[in-house]
């Protein structure tokens, strides 16, 4: 295993070994989980195997997070430049890009050529939708980087979940507006994920289009042109999805609709939990304070962080968005989630359970200390929540 | 000749601004083609709601003149 070392005047030689180095290879397994169902069906002839991928994601995910626990290890700051230059980490994000295409086409071909029972079709399609939703995670890691190669790969991989507008919306919209009532990608206290999705999905598209429209106007280029970085990714999506319909016929329409929806739903779920209820203060000049570490929820769970390129160390990501995944840090006393994202997704899908667990955690945060006026509250629930906690609306 | 170089460098020094968060550099002589800011566009001429095009965390008033130091 590689050891990083640097001589410093104050602390002598500082060394660091990434104890997760080899385990990061797990990130390559994540996109391929739907193939477990197909492989099982080929070997045993039993279509029940098509249920296995969803079981692996939502059964094994929370279980392994609980079993392997949390990791609070941070690289020493002086060694971060070396760690960021190590191409090993970069290669893993590059490799996940073709894997998402392989699993998408592999499952489409299976659905298009086999006579599956309706529930087998549905289970496999939802599973590949979820797996390709994690293509947005790969696109997220790549899209934040400044190299042309990485941003190009981001646009390419985002074509699989049909979400080409994501990296513009996320980098320039969400990061700017995060943890404010204006942000369609930050959930409010008292807002269920089902209500949030209806605000988040159209809101994200609209904001991305406005940002790209503004940029192209400055460049004096027509919006409907190939310079439009949203359209670049959409063209690739259209070629792939129309090609599948032309090849395999109408069965591809439900496959693609369900696949695309669940891919988007993965992002909606992540956005829902990442900033739930958190609010940046407004300054005297009318602008919001800069995004602080306590404006994001975090999870240090080993297994899900390995699959998600440390996405769950979300505070450091928002404070330092261009920092690479291998260098993201854990900090003490930040908003923290009781499980990794896989477990939290399931909780989010059951709103009463979500409120029961998360509202208490939110109110207990040190910078909030029970004061609802420092929380991003859903305006429709405002009166009810203030009455519930016996507070006067400020 | 040397004096001219030196003066040019001095002129360039004040014509560069960087994001203190991520190190993104705005060089007035180059502008930023991707963002649609043409070469020669002064930092002061950028829109008031300008946020760092690389990280979107820092606002225009956070930008620092000159190049970022080694660590960024």
Q: What is the CATH number of the domain that holds B40?
A: 2.20.28.10
Cβ–Cβ of A322/B55 closer than 8 Å? yes
Cβ–Cβ of B55/A291 closer than 8 Å? no
Nearest in space to A201 (alpha carbons), one of A189, A213, A185, A215: A185
Q: What are phi and psi of B26, to 5 degrees?
A: -105, 115
Residue B43 lies in a domain: yes
Residue B52 lies in a domain: yes
Q: Name residues whose C-beta falls within 8 Å of residue A52's C-beta, 6 or more positions apart in sequence.
A: A36, A37, A40
Three-state secondary structure call for residue A37: helix
Cβ–Cβ of B56/A320 closer than 8 Å? no
Is the CB of A318 inside 8 Å of chain B's CB atoms? yes
Residue B22 lies in a domain: yes
Q: Which residues of B touch A182 (CB under 8 A)?
A: none
In angstroms, the separation between the Cα of residue B61 and the nearest Cα of chain A is: 12
Q: Measured in whole angstroms, how far is the alpha carbon of residue A262 from the centre of its chain?
A: 13
pLDDT of residue B71: 44
Residue B6 pLDDT greater than 80, yes or no: no
Residue B71 lies in a domain: no
Q: Which residues of B touch A172 (CB under 8 A)?
A: 51, 53, 56
- Confidence band for B9, pLDDT divided at 50, 70 and 90: low
In angstroms, the separation between the Cα of residue B14 and the nearest Cα of chain A is: 24
CA A312/CA A315 separation, integer angstroms: 8
Residue B70 lies in a domain: no
Cβ–Cβ of A146/B54 closer than 8 Å? yes
Cβ–Cβ of B57/A321 closer than 8 Å? yes
Q: Residue B40: which domain range?
A: 2-65
Model pTM score: 0.91
B57 → closest Cβ in A81, A219, A290: A290
CA A281/CA A184 separation, integer angstroms: 17
pLDDT along chain A (394 residues), means of 10: 86 88 93 96 95 93 93 90 93 96 97 95 97 95 91 95 95 93 97 98 97 94 94 96 96 97 97 97 90 94 93 93 92 92 96 97 95 96 93 74
pLDDT of residue B72: 40
Residue B48 lies in a domain: yes
**For A229, which residue in chain B has the nearest alpha carbon?**
B34
The span from the first CA to the last CA of chain B, in angstroms, equals: 33
Mean pLDDT of B44-63: 88
Which residue is associated with the tokens 């261009």? A322
Residue B36 lies in a domain: yes
How many domains, chain B?
1
- Confidence band for B22, pLDDT divided at 50, 70 and 90: confident
- Are A31 and A96 contacting, i.e. CB atoms less than 8 angstroms apart? yes
pLDDT of residue B1: 47
**For A286, which residue in chain B has the nearest alpha carbon?**
B49
Burial of A338 (0-12, 13-18, 19+ CB in 10 A): middle
- Confidence band for B21, pLDDT divided at 50, 70 and 90: confident
Structure tokens at A206: 């609209």
Cβ–Cβ of B36/A321 closer than 8 Å? no
B22 → closest Cβ in A217, A287, A320: A320
In angstroms, the separation between the Cα of residue A176 and the nearest Cα of chain B is: 5
Cβ–Cβ of A320/B62 closer than 8 Å? no
pLDDT of residue A285: 86
A321 → closest Cβ in B34, B36, B55: B55
């Amino acid at each position: 295993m590689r050891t990083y070392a640097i001589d410093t005047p104050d602390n002598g030689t500082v060394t660091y070994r990434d104890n997760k180095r080899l385990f990061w290879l797990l990130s390559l397994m994540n996109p391929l989980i739907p193939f477990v169902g197909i492989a099982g069906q080929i070997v045993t002839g039993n279509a029940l195997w098509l249920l296995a991928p969803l079981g692996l994601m939502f059964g094994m995910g929370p279980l392994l997070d609980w079993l392997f626990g949390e990791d609070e290890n941070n690289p020493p700051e002086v060694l971060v430049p070396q760690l960021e230059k190590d191409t090993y980490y970069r290669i893993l994000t590059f490799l996940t890009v073709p894997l998402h295409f392989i699993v998408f086409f592999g499952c489409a071909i299976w659905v298009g050529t086999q006579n599956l029972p309706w529930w087998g079709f549905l289970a496999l399609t939802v599973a590949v939708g979820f797996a390709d939703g994690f293509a947005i995670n790969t696109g997220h890691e790549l899209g934040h980087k400044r190299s042309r190669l990485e941003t190009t790969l981001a646009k390419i991989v985002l074509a699989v979940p049909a979400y080409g507008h994501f990296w513009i919306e996320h980098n320039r919209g969400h990061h700017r507006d995060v943890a404010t009532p204006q942000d369609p990608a930050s959930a409010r206290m008292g807002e269920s994920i089902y209500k949030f999705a209806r605000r988040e999905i159209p809101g994200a598209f609209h904001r991305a289009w406005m940002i790209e429209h503004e940029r192209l106007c400055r460049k004096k280029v027509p919006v409907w042109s190939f310079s439009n970085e949203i359209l670049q990714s959409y063209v690739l999506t259209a070629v792939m999805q129309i090609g599948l319909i032309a090849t395999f016929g109408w069965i591809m329409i439900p496959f693609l609709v369900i696949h695309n929806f669940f891919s988007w739903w993965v992002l909606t779920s992540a956005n829902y939990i990442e900033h739930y209820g958190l609010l940046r203060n407004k300054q005297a000049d009318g602008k919001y304070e800069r995004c602080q570490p306590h404006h994001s929820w975090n999870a240090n769970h080993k297994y899900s962080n390995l699959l998600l390129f440390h996405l769950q160390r979300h505070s450091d990501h928002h404070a330092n968005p261009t920092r690479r995944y291998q260098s993201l840090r854990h900090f003490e006393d930040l908003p923290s989630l009781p499980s990794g994202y896989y477990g939290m997704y399931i909780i989010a899908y059951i709103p009463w359970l979500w409120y029961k667990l998360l509202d208490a955690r939110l109110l207990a945060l040190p910078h909030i200390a029970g004061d609802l006026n420092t929380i991003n509250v859903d305006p429709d629930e405002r009166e009810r929540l203030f009455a519930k906690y016996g507070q006067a609306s400020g | 000749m040397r004096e001219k170089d030196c003066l040019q460098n001095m002129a360039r020094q004040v014509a560069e601004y960087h994001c203190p968060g991520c190190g993104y550099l705005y060089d007035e002589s180059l502008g930023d083609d991707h963002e649609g800011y043409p070469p020669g566009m002064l930092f002061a001429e950028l829109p008031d709601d300008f946020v760092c095009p690389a990280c979107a965390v820092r606002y225009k008033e956070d930008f620092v003149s000159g190049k970022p130091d080694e660590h960024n």
